[in-house]
A = this chain, B = another copy of it.
Amino acid sequence: MEDLKDITKVFKALADSSRVRIIKMLESKPLCVCEITFVLNLSTSTVSKHLSILRDCGLILDEKNGKWVNYMINPDLNSNLREQLINLVNTSLVNDNFIKLDKANLIMADRNLLCNI
């Protein structure tokens, strides 16, 4: 059961364009911090903070994998609200130019290339 505080927290998490861009990226596949950092062109610490905000409201999950941390859309969005919000974001912005560019850049964002230099 969701209360006002929980719901506001989820809306706050989505009330930032960088975080919406992250959700849109994660719709393709799980990503590590450095891949997202490459696409958003922000500092690693800033991206890490954004991810923790999305995680703390239950929209995404992290999973350790060696020295990487993979982030993904929470496959078990234990509420109708979160599920519908993710669907809403998922079906939105399909023609937005920034989102298209992010998706194009994501193709070039191979963690091995990014990290082994």
Report which A residues bind B (CB closer than 8 A). Answer: 1-5, 7-8, 11-12, 14-17, 20-21, 80-81, 84-85, 88-89, 91-93, 95-99
Which of B21, B84, B88, B93 is A3 in contact with, Cβ under 8 Å? B93
Q: Which 6 A-B pairs have the closest CB atoms?
A: A15-B15, A11-B15, A12-B15, A11-B14, A8-B17, A3-B96
> Copy number of this protein in the oligomer?
2
Question: Inside 8 A of A97's CB, which chain B residues have their CB?
Answer: 3
Distance to closest chain B CB from A22 (angstroms): 12
Report the separation of the CA atoms of residues A84 and B84 in the bound assembly, to the nearest whole angstrom: 9
- Asked if residues A15 and B8 are in contact (CB atoms below 8 Å), the reply is yes
- Asked if residues B17 and A96 are in contact (CB atoms below 8 Å), the reply is no
A11 with B2, Cβ < 8 A, contacts A84-B84, A85-B88 known? no
- Asked if residues A17 and B1 are in contact (CB atoms below 8 Å), the reply is no
- Asked if residues B8 and A16 are in contact (CB atoms below 8 Å), the reply is yes
